């Protein structure tokens, strides 16, 4: 079995604080290893925080924040689903074995990590702790869905439309209002009887529509 290069951090607790801080500071154009220090994380272990985010799919290969970062970390519940989807893809070996890997026991996940890498118990444990910190910022209920809602999408409108398609209204469950615009023309004439006859005929036909005939 090929060895997977899992990432881990020696300070998972500080990593969690760092990600929380990212939700309240400006989005960097590019996150370098020096960025954590600029927002108050100056330890040597913090220099690898960007590497963790890159592995988790929140930064692209050059370190630039992507949609999972920009729309995910600050996107409310839809954003959490976006983050969860990125993490599920990054940690596919874990989710392949345990579809609910985010809530699986550490010992079970350590076994999976060790079976897919050359890491010892300590480092495999740090991989899992790092993974569990990331999972706190994602929602995995729909992480593998084909389409996730993005912040700003009209989710309610889409749901209502889908509901209407599945359960069209009928006479027993509700009513449907239909507006009809009718444009008619009459040749100009000075004889008022022509107009009287025209409007009388129109009223007769429209009355048939309103009384259900």
Work out the number of other CB atoms within 10 angstroms of the CB of residue 17. Answer: 14
pLDDT of residue 164: 44
pLDDT-above-70 percentage for the chain: 65
Work out the number of other CB atoms within 10 angstroms of the CB of residue 139. Answer: 18
* DSSP, residue by residue, 167-203: S---TTT----------------S-HHHHHHHHHHHH
pLDDT of residue 101: 97
pLDDT in tens, 112-122: 999 999 999 99
pLDDT in tens, 18-33: 999 999 999 999 999 9
Does the pLDDT at position 208 exceed 70?
no
């Amino acid at each position: 079995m090929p060895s997977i290069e899992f990432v881990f951090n020696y300070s998972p607790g500080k990593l969690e604080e760092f990600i929380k801080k990212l939700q309240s500071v400006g989005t960097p154009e590019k996150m370098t290893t020096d960025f954590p220090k600029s927002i108050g994380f100056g330890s040597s272990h913090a220099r690898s925080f960007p590497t963790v985010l890159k592995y988790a799919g929140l930064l692209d290969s050059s370190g630039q924040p992507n949609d999972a970062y920009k729309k995910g970390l600050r996107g409310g519940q839809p954003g959490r689903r976006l983050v969860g989807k990125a993490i599920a893809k990054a940690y596919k070996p874990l989710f392949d074995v345990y579809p609910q890997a985010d809530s699986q026991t550490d010992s079970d996940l350590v076994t999976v990590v060790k079976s897919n890498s050359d890491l010892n118990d300590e480092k495999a444990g740090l991989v899992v702790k790092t993974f569990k910190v990331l999972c706190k910022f994602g929602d995995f209920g729909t992480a593998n869905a084909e389409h996730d809602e993005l912040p700003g999408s009209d989710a309610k409108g889409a749901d209502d439309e889908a509901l209407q398609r599945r359960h069209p209204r009928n006479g027993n469950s509700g009513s449907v209002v239909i507006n009809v615009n009718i444009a008619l023309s009459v040749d100009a004439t000075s004889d008022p009887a022509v107009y009287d006859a025209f409007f009388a005929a129109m009223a007769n036909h429209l009355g048939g529509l309103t009384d259900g005939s």
